[in-house]
Amino acid sequence: MIRIGTRKSTLALWQANEVKNKLETFGHSCKLVHIESSGDQDLTQPLYAMGIQGIFTKNLDTALLNNTVDIAVHSLKDVPTKLPKGIKINALLPRGNANDLIVYSPKFKSWETQTTIGSGSLRRKAQWLRKYPHHKVENLRGNLPKRMERLKNSDWSGAIFAQAGLERIGLLTENYEILNWMIPAPAQGIIGITTLENNSSLKKSLQKINCKETASCAQIERSFLSTIEGGCTAPIGAIAKIREEIIHFKGGLFSLDGKIAFTIEEEINIKEAKGYGEKAALKILKEGGKELMKQIKPKL
């Protein structure tokens, strides 16, 4: 019996059941074990103000280390680039849609006027204010149904979400626009599975459901994030896509108000993938990103 650790939110349960179904296809018996996270308990503070990395993963890490669960299922974008000692990412499912989108409020009129949108992400806030500096962005926390409900009951013009999350639990309405210009969070749209490093008995089973292309893209994006030292808080975006042996990469570091941006957009052969995320990040840091990070960190 494989014990699958998961948060209790609708999206987390959908993701855990996706992993469960795939493992059961290969003859494994599985059960879900619900674990509440610190991020789920405190829904009032912005994520960046809570002062810790791995806010949605910490309790699942503890469950792994305490042998309460055998594997833990995460939205990979929530997983810190530095994992606790003894834990590793063992498999990634094929990536869902990586885009951000804005869901319009019925009260929406025009982006040309002064208005307010909702988002709990510094990355989304910075990029939105860069495009619409006359707007205001208010904190939006909670699971997806709660965030959609809050938008409905607010006087905001809209709120920003990850497309994959809304699609997975059937909350994507017709009243939205995909933000093709916004650089997604590193590993957005990817479901990750962690285990104890010494749990060799599960390794073969998890490799059967692992997507190598997704893993390659995630490694580049997470390496980019790690090298800039953004953790889960600084306004950093990264997306890698593979088409016909070519990796298309776009990454960016933004000031909190969006006025300053260091971005990179390149194409490389897949044979050059090793170490590329770090190389791309070092270019950003050399261009001025290092000084910007020094300015950002004391404000977080």
Q: What is the dihedral of CA 157, 164, 172, 99, to 10 degrees?
A: 40
Q: How far, in Å, CA of 148 to CA of 150, rounded?
A: 5
Residues 56/34, Cβ–Cβ less than 8 Å: no
As to burial, measured by CB atoms within 10 angstroms (0-12 exposed, 13-18 middle, 19+ buried), residue 132 is middle
- 53: its two tokens: 């990395």
* Catalytic site positions: 78
What are the contacts of 282-285 at 24+ separation with CB within 8 A?
282/227, 284/228, 284/251, 284/252, 284/253, 285/227, 285/228
